[in-house]
Structure 1
Amino acid sequence: MSSVCLAAGDIFVPIKIDENDLYAGVLKLLKTIRPNWIQEKIKLKTLTDGITNKLVSCQFLKSSGEKEILLVRIYGNKTDLFIDRSAEIRNIKTLNVLGLAPQIYGIFENGLAYQYYPGITLDTESVTNDNIWPLVATQMAKMHKVQLGKEIPKEPFVWDKIEQFLNLLPDPFTSEEKQARFTNSFSSITKLRIEYERLKTLLSKTESPIVFAHNDLLLGNVIYNKDEGTISFIDYEYAAYCYQAFDIANHFNEFVGLSIDDIDYDRYPCEEFQFEWIKVYLAMYLDVDHPTEPQIRKVYKEVQQMSLLSHFLWGIWSLVQYEHSNIDFDFGRYAEIRLNRYYELRDKIFKQLS
């Protein structure tokens, strides 16, 4: 198989992996990026944390008995409609140099292969563990201090991203059943657009600083290595400049769970926990030993407001997935959960902002 080197120094392999025949495609990829791996000693395992992409662990048993592992991520169907893959790769490479993201081993037509981080992904219990959450807060603060090149506009990505999602909403949905469900739950795209404009008018006044943010720090994107006592972030598809408080709020919103049957808003972190989390975060971000109470309270207030924006973003995203994704996940129900939560919180937040 032929391969070419991109200008960025990455290996590009001109193959497309069929999501219905993952292992055959992954083995074909490995022949190029790991030519010394003997197929009989390769063990493949499909990981199940994501709901957009598919992830395959590739393990090779060396003659010494050591194991070498890398990950192959296969992009979900039509995700290129709303994810800038060039920016994703640029961001991963930038963060890798700083020790904040995995190394990329190879890129193919619908995915990439990258470094494996040993450890476990967080869940609804471990994310509040006193040995773990301070590491997450500190790691996020480190990422927020990263500066991209001057050619990258320092503007919050979230407004353009929601616009993009709204433009991708089908009118009507290709399935009559989906269209009926959408109409029953959300009325119309026009109503969602009006809501978006109102939200933007109020929240764009925020004083939350614009930082380089992960923007999708769900529990499955945080790896805890107990032996090393470290936290690593993965999956930088939505990494971009955004509001500091948005990234924190978005992470807090994920404490409730992701599985449709397991989402429980009683798990949303209480004010006391958020204060302590933000205090640790600000100590690293501001490079101080003891952030002041007014500094912590300011960020806390902004986080509550940006929680609303997080729900709206991923609610609209889920409606796009509802139309296009082949993943076995009820995106229609997830959209209902996120947007219903948005409407529950909206009036109280809007009153604060008006």
Structure 2
Amino acid sequence: MAEVHKEPHFDIVIDGDKLNEGAAEIVKLLRPAWSIDDYQFKLFTNGISNKLVGVWCKDRYDEMVLIRVYGYKTDLFIDRTAETRNIRLMHAAGYTHCLYATFNNGLAYEFLPGDTLTVDSVRSPPIYKLVAKRLAEMHKLNPAHPEISTEPFIWDKIEKFMRIMPKSFSNKEKQAKFRRIIQPYTELEKQYQLLKNELSKLDNVVVFAHNDLLLGNVLHNAKENTITFIDYEYSAYNYQAYDIANHFAEFVGLDVPDYSLYPDETLQRDWLRLYLEEYNGTPDVTENEIKKLYIHVNKFLLLSHFFWGCWSLIQSEHSLIGFDFLEYASIRFNELFKKKDQLFVSE
């Protein structure tokens, strides 16, 4: 897969508290024919890592330019060079939006029409059929690039997270909550080693994975009946079952996760059958294939909980976005410890 042209870079830093003014500065360079007096702005509030604002000229909504400002200190755990490379590669393959430009603390890119999924729409059979098929198509890609490792990225990434995540907080109130709701680091480290030892033994294929298919990163265009994935911050080669498990984990929602919404075995098996039909290139999928992938997915679900628990701890120390990252970390770790026996389910 060939990499396409590289977008311009602007030596500009956008103040997260002055999004519209900063976004206008970028759009003025990208769309010089637009009159500044006609600029319209829309703040998108789905993300908990970055800030996103759309800018368009009145009566030209479909030509909106999206301006994404990176969250504070997110460069500690996100490889921004890899992210922009991933967007270029995925756009060239027809999988996502075009990247218009980069700037010192963010990106400018194409607006794609569609609605992000909800806890209701993600479990609708006509929609999850499209998602399963699209993910299988992505997993069949081979984005050959000299800088992309074909080894599973998950272990190095988690180990980096564990090195930089806070072990204590200077704020007394936050420290008290941290000690009350988060398992001791030694216990987390022990659980990680168990996960790594057991999951790395599984015969699960390694594919080019999205690794962050939360509901807000999946766009459904009802008019065209298509699915598009956005946000490739974590995309890299990884275990097939991890990418699927990571998506299933998002069925429960984000702001107030409701684990009664986690897809049951019937829904998962149907989703996996649709996925395997596309991935294998044949409708002749056996029950044994579905069962094996189902078991692997629910083992890798534990690793997804661990990954985002660590991520959320890092965010709890640095993020300026109004979200209770400490509480979210606790939720994900608690789910891991509740379900940890899934690791030893036999095939």
| TM-score, length of structure 1 as denominator length | 0.93
Structural mapping, 1:156-235, within 5 Å: 156-235=152-231
1:171 and 1:221 mapped to 2: Cα distance?
Answer: 30
Equivalence for 1:285: 279
Equivalence for 1:81: 76
Local SS of the residue matching 1:76: coil
1:56 to 2:49 alignment: no
1:50 and 1:38 mapped to 2: Cα distance?
Answer: 29
Local SS of the residue matching 1:177: helix
Tell which deviates more after alignment, 337-346 or 172-181.
172-181
User: How far is the alpha carbon of 1:191 from its aligned partner?
Assistant: 2.4
Local SS of the residue matching 1:132: helix
1:173 and 1:207 mapped to 2: Cα distance?
Answer: 40
Equivalence for 1:304: 298
1:315 to 2:309 alignment: yes
| Structure 1 residues 52-81: Cα deviation after superposition (integer angstroms, max 9, x where no partner) | 11111112236xx67421211111010000
2:66 and 2:346 mapped to 1: Cα distance?
Answer: 44
1:221 and 1:240 mapped to 2: Cα distance?
Answer: 16
Given residue 231 of structure 1, which amino acid in structure 2 is its aligned partner? I
Equivalence for 1:252: 248
Local SS of the residue matching 1:112: strand
1:173 and 1:190 mapped to 2: Cα distance?
Answer: 17
Local SS of the residue matching 2:311: helix
Tell which deviates more after alignment, 159-168 or 147-156.
147-156
Change (3 A) 1:302 1:143: same
Local SS of the residue matching 1:184: helix
User: How far is the alpha carbon of 1:275 from its aligned partner?
Assistant: 0.7
User: How far is the alpha carbon of 1:233 from its aligned partner?
Assistant: 0.5
User: How far is the alpha carbon of 1:319 from its aligned partner?
Assistant: 0.6
Report if the CA contact (8 A) 1:17-1:110 is conserved. yes
Given residue 190 of structure 1, which amino acid in structure 2 is its aligned partner? T
Report if the CA contact (8 A) 1:156-1:210 is conserved. yes
Match of 2:332 among 328, 338, 342: 338
Tell which deviates more after alignment, 34-43 or 331-340.
34-43
Percent sequence identity is 46
Given residue 307 of structure 2, which amino acid in structure 1 is its aligned partner? L
Local SS of the residue matching 1:306: helix
Equivalence for 1:351: 344
Unmatched segments (≥5 aa) in structure 1: 1-6
Given residue 25 of structure 1, which amino acid in structure 2 is its aligned partner? G
Change (3 A) 1:51 1:248: same
1:35 to 2:65 alignment: no
1:210 and 1:174 mapped to 2: Cα distance?
Answer: 41
Local SS of the residue matching 2:126: coil
Given residue 207 of structure 2, which amino acid in structure 1 is its aligned partner? V
| Structure 1 residues 8-62: Cα deviation after superposition (integer angstroms, max 9, x where no partner) | 5211011011001111100011111111111121111110111111111112236
Equivalence for 2:113: 118
Tell which deviates more after alignment, 301-310 or 199-208.
199-208
User: How far is the alpha carbon of 1:117 from its aligned partner?
Assistant: 1.0
User: How far is the alpha carbon of 1:185 from its aligned partner?
Assistant: 2.1
Report if the CA contact (8 A) 1:186-1:192 is conserved. no
1:335 and 1:32 mapped to 2: Cα distance?
Answer: 40
2:44 and 2:242 mapped to 1: Cα distance?
Answer: 28
2:191 and 2:223 mapped to 1: Cα distance?
Answer: 47
User: How far is the alpha carbon of 1:227 from its aligned partner?
Assistant: 0.5
Structural mapping, 1:121-140, within 5 Å: 121-140=116-135
1:234 and 1:66 mapped to 2: Cα distance?
Answer: 19
Given residue 350 of structure 1, which amino acid in structure 2 is its aligned partner? L
2:251 and 2:184 mapped to 1: Cα distance?
Answer: 30
User: How far is the alpha carbon of 1:150 from its aligned partner?
Assistant: 5.2
1:66 and 1:195 mapped to 2: Cα distance?
Answer: 49
Find runs of 4+ consecutive structure 1 residues off by over 3 angstroms: none
Report if the CA contact (8 A) 2:168-2:178 is conserved. no
Give aligned pairs, total. 343
2:190 and 2:286 mapped to 1: Cα distance?
Answer: 38
Report if the CA contact (8 A) 1:60-1:67 is conserved. no
Change (3 A) 1:353 1:188: farther
2:145 and 2:86 mapped to 1: Cα distance?
Answer: 14
2:175 and 2:198 mapped to 1: Cα distance?
Answer: 30
Change (3 A) 1:228 1:26: same
Local SS of the residue matching 1:46: strand
Given residue 237 of structure 2, which amino acid in structure 1 is its aligned partner? Y
Change (3 A) 1:353 1:66: closer
1:66 and 1:94 mapped to 2: Cα distance?
Answer: 26
Report if the CA contact (8 A) 1:61-1:67 is conserved. no
Unmatched segments (≥5 aa) in structure 2: none
**RMSD between superposed Cα atoms in Å:** 1.6
